């Protein structure tokens, strides 16, 4: 009978309440000792709320419950899995049990009979019966009974059988024996007293007894194998006067009585483990009626299977996405317990899914020590931002995940709520992306924004920031700040003659030497080219800046060997101090730069303090540099030729070309601008113009028929150091003839 109910429920995937009632009605009519024929679907903890809401379509006050005994039921506590009665026929005597989780014990029982039977049914994929238990349903309260479970299976998306619930029979043992006895008496057998024990364990469990406890030679027993590896012992004892023993035939009469009792026990055994032909016939007839009444059942099943096939395809795709996603995906139930942990999460956090699913909250990964979050407080804090956004919105936050081995990984975590069809939040999903490379790249970008790429010294941006902070600290503590502007003497000559690779190596060596000259808390920055600025913080006396400058002169001037070349590079240093020489960063750097030029004019390889009259000299120098640039642009350079005569013969023997600047009709002699041209580098343009103009003038004199005499042209040291200088002179002479 239970097998038939199981097949029906598997065929219709649980079906409907009305369909179930129609199917089991004939069984209940033929077996009045049945307390209930039921269907107990498997419901996970995360599905509970949705399942209860849907079930209220049939039972408005439906809830998953557990029993306190005496027919009293209370709301079931949260668990991973429930097996509640969704159907329990006849419903009029089982209404209170609708929703009762049959896997929970009615009262404390160390043997856990229901759970044991359920586990046996699942392990064997067949029917299993409990040991004798005390029933709690209304008609059977206090009566001994058993529950038979038949597992129900359906294929999942991979075609594997998955448990989706149980078909259940609840049997009142005493009523079953009385019914069997009445059936035997109806067939003409005499009255007997029956007793029933479960002898599966070493200590028999009494199930029912109406017989006298004293042994009788007429008693007869039978052992019945019951599904679930259980064994029952049935004893039948005739009532007094039920059997007449003829004188002299004691043994024969005793044998006849035994035969009669054996026949009686056969009826009982048949009742327990078999079905009568008439019942089978009625069930088949009712099944045919049911199939006829539901003519569209097969079409409906086909549509359902097609839908499930499409669902399996979608779920296969979802699984593939989860397995192959580059992001760690972690989904939880409403309380925070992990339910989904994909492959990327396993690789990132070094945990297997088996270690975390159903056992951990993701807040554990936010803690360096992986301390448990037993009450979920830390998890609630993580997801609390979702309370202030819409249910379809997510929240992003940058956090650190800690792996099983203790490594910290910066991640961008996007969390959102999982909402069911009724709009209720049933869980959370978090998607975490490892941003270690992004953070490293960002740190590199930030470093490049503040540090010189060649020397790794602070650049101008960081220099101004740090100098400003040093000035603010000096204001607060009433001390001094020193600014040293360091320029390498004749570095351009080395760079131009030996190439930038040698010049770069030289700058890196100088940077290292400058670092070694500083005190703790001081700063050296590269302004660009061969210019450096040193900030001396918290000076108690101006002599501190002199001490640092002296160390720099000694260190930088020491011989340097680079790529087979030996160099001696000297620095010129200008010094300005807060608050005497300026109140802000820009002014201090400018005045230190001015003092540096004074050091160069005084012979280089020394340091000079800024003085007020230096501003006038700097201003004049800038005006002169501007005058040279404008003269080159506007063609206001001119050559004057100073003749050379032989005093003995009074003949012209040569001339010297001297450059002048014309400005508003006034000639500016070279002594007023050549030194500035040398320092600024403009001497290369001026020198080139002088050579080309002298060659042109010499060619003009030849064309005019004048005697050509040698011309002397002054050339700067920078011109002589230029690669290919001699070749350029030769080409110029060839061009001018």
Under DSSP, is residue 63 helix (H, G, I), strand (E, B) or coil? coil
pLDDT exceeds cutoff 70 at 734: yes
Please name every residue paired with 691 in a beta bridge, in sequence order, or none if there are none.
Answer: none
**Relative orientation angle of helices 460-477 and 436-450, to the nearest 10 degrees:** 70
pLDDT exceeds cutoff 90 at 321: no
- % the chain with pLDDT above 70: 82
| 351 — pLDDT class (breaks 50, 70, 90) | very high
pLDDT given at position 247 = 34
Under DSSP, is residue 314 helix (H, G, I), strand (E, B) or coil? helix
Residue 530 a catalytic site member? yes
Tens-digit pLDDT profile for residues 122-151: 999 999 999 998 886 645 556 788 999 999
Tens-digit pLDDT profile for residues 546-568: 889 999 999 999 999 988 888 89
C-alpha to C-alpha distances, 467 to 459, 481, 515, 658, nearest whole angstrom = 12, 9, 17, 47
**622-736 homologous superfamily:** EAL domain (3.20.20.450)
Q: Which residues contact 228 (CB under 8 A, 6 or more apart)?
A: 117, 120, 121, 124, 127, 128, 129, 130, 148
pTM: 0.44
Q: Strands 571-578, 607-609: parallel, antiparallel or unpaired by DSSP?
A: parallel
Higher local confidence (pLDDT), 602 or 269: 602
- How far apart, in whole angstroms, are the C-alpha atoms of residue 204 and residue 185? 28
- How far apart, in whole angstroms, are the C-alpha atoms of residue 421 and residue 1? 38
Under DSSP, is residue 85 helix (H, G, I), strand (E, B) or coil? coil
Lowest mean pLDDT among 405-409, 423-427, 487-491: 423-427
- Give the tokens for residue 259: 């035969």
Cα dihedral sign, 587-593-596-597: negative
Tens-digit pLDDT profile for residues 223-243: 888 888 899 988 887 766 554
Q: Is-same-fold flag (329-439; 451-612)?
A: no
Task: Please state which architecture CATH assigns to domain 2-172.
Answer: 2-Layer Sandwich (3.30)
pLDDT, average across residues 493-508: 88
pLDDT given at position 262 = 42
Fold classification of 329-439 is Beta-Lactamase (3.30.450)
pLDDT exceeds cutoff 80 at 650: yes
Residue 118: closest CA among 152, 143, 86: 152
Tens-digit pLDDT profile for residues 58-101: 999 999 998 876 667 889 888 889 999 999 999 988 888 899 99
pLDDT, average across residues 188-211: 80
- Give the tokens for residue 5: 């109910």
pLDDT, average across residues 660-664: 92
Cis peptide before 579 (omega within 30 of 0): yes
pLDDT, average across residues 649-670: 91
Please name every residue paired with 232 in a beta bridge, in sequence order, or none if there are none.
Answer: 198, 224
- Name the active-site residue from 373, 530, 581, 593: 530
* Residues 682/626, Cβ–Cβ less than 8 Å: no
Other Cβ atoms less than 10 A from the Cβ of 251: the count is 9
Cis peptide before 699 (omega within 30 of 0): no
Give the 3-state DSSP-derived string for 686-726, with helices as H, strands as E and coil as C.
HHHHHHHHHHHHHHHHHHCCCCCCCEEECCCHHHHHCCCHH
Q: Which helix (H) or strand (E) holds 526?
A: strand 523-528
Residue 415: closest CA among 319, 351, 328, 357: 328
C-alpha to C-alpha distances, 629 to 62, 620, 666, 687, 720, nearest whole angstrom = 96, 14, 17, 13, 22
| 461 — pLDDT class (breaks 50, 70, 90) | very high
Block residue for tokens 């301390």: 371
pLDDT given at position 213 = 57
Q: Across all residues in the chain, what is the average pLDDT?
A: 84
Q: Strands 711-713, 651-663: parallel, antiparallel or unpaired by DSSP?
A: parallel
- How far apart, in whole angstroms, are the C-alpha atoms of residue 558 and residue 569? 8
pLDDT exceeds cutoff 50 at 245: no
Residues in the chain: 737
CATH number of 451-612: 3.30.70.260, 3.90.470.10, 3.30.70.270, 3.40.190.10?
A: 3.30.70.270
Residue 574: closest CA among 529, 623, 543, 534: 534
pLDDT given at position 108 = 57
pLDDT, average across residues 318-334: 79
* Residues 571/514, Cβ–Cβ less than 8 Å: no
- Can you give the residue ranges of every domain in the chain? 2-172, 329-439, 451-612, 622-736
Helix and strand numbers, DSSP H then E, in the chain: 23, 30
- How far apart, in whole angstroms, are the C-alpha atoms of residue 417 and residue 395? 10
């Amino acid at each position: 009978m239970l097998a038939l109910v199981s097949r029906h429920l598997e065929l219709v995937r649980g079906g409907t309440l009305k369909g179930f009632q129609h199917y089991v009605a004939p069984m209940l009519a033929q077996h009045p000792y049945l307390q209930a024929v039921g269907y107990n679907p498997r419901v996970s903890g995360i599905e509970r709320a949705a399942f209860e809401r849907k079930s209220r379509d049939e039972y408005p006050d439906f809830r998953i419950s557990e029993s306190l005994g005496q027919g009293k039921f209370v709301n079931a506590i949260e668990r991973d899995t429930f097996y509640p009665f969704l159907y329990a026929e006849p419903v009029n005597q089982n209404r209170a049990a609708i929703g009762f989780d049959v896997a929970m014990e009615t009262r404390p029982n160390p043997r856990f009979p229901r759970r044991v039977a359920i586990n046996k049914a699942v392990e064997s994929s067949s029917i299993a019966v409990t040991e004798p238990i005390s029933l709690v349903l209304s008609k059977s309260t206090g009566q001994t009974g058993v529950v038979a479970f038949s597992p129900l299976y359906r294929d999942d998306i991979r075609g594997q059988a998955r448990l989706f619930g149980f078909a259940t029979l609840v049997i009142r043992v005493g009523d079953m024996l009385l019914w069997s006895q009445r059936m035997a008496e109806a067939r003409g057998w005499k009255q007997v007293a029956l007793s029933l024990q479960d002898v599966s364990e070493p200590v028999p469990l009494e199930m029912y007894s109406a017989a006298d406890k004293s042994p009788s030679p007429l008693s007869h027993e039978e052992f019945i194998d019951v599904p679930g590896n259980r064994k029952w012992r049935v004893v039948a004892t005739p009532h007094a006067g039920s059997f007449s023993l003829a004188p002299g035939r004691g043994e024969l009469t005793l044998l006849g009585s035994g035969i009669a009792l054996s026949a009686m026990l056969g009826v009982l055994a048949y009742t327990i483990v078999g079905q009568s032909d008439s019942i089978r016939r009625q069930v088949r007839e009712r099944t045919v009626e049911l199939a006829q009444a539901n003519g569209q059942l097969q079409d409906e099943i086909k549509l359902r299977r097609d839908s499930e096939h499409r669902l399996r395809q979608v779920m296969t795709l979802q699984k593939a996405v989860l397995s192959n996603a580059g992001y760690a995906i972690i989904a939880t139930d409403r309380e925070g317990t992990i339910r989904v942990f994909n492959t990327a999460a396993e690789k990132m956090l070094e945990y297997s899914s088996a270690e975390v699913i159903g056992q951990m909250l993701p807040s554990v990964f936010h803690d360096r020590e992986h301390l448990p979050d037993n009450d979920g407080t830390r998890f609630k804090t993580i997801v609390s931002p979702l309370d202030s956004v819409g249910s379809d919105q997510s929240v992003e936050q940058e956090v650190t995940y800690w792996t099983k081995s203790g490594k910290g990984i910066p991640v961008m975590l996007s969390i959102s709520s999982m909402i069911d069809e009724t709009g209720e939040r049933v869980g959370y999903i978090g998607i975490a992306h490892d941003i270690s490379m992004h953070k490293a790249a960002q740190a590199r970008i930030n470093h490049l924004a503040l540090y010189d790429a060649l020397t790794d010294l602070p650049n101008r941006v960081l220099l101004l920031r740090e100098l400003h902070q040093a000035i603010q600290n000096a204001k607060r503590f009433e001390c001094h700040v020193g600014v040293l502007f360091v320029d390498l003497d004749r570095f351009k000559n080395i760079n131009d003659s030996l190439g930038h690779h040698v010049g770069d190596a030289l700058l890196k060596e100088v940077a290292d030497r400058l670092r070694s000259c500083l005190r703790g808390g001081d700063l050296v920055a590269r302004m660009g080219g061969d210019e450096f600025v040193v900030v001396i913080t918290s000076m108690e006396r101006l002599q501190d800046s002199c001490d640092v400058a002296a160390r720099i002169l000694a260190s930088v001037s020491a011989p340097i060997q680079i790529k087979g070349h030996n160099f001696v590079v000297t620095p010129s240093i200008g010094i300005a101090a807060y608050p005497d020489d300026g109140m802000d960063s820009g002014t201090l750097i400018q005045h230190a730069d001015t003092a540096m030029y004074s050091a160069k004019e005084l012979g280089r390889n020394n340091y000079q303090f800024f003085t007020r009259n230096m501003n006038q000299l700097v201003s004049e120098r800038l005006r002169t540099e501007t005058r040279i640039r404008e003269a080159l642009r506007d063609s206001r350079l001119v050559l004057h030729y100073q003749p050379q005569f032989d005093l003995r013969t009074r003949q012209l023997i040569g001339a010297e070309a001297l450059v002048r600047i014309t400005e508003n009709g006034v000639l500016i002699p070279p002594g007023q601008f050549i030194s500035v041209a040398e320092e600024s580098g403009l001497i290369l343009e001026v020198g080139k113009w002088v050579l080309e103009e002298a060659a042109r003038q010499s060619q003009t004199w030849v064309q005019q028929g004048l005697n050509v005499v040698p011309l002397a042209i002054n050339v700067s040291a920078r011109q002589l150091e230029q690669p290919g200088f001699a070749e350029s002179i030769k080409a110029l002479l060839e061009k001018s003839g």
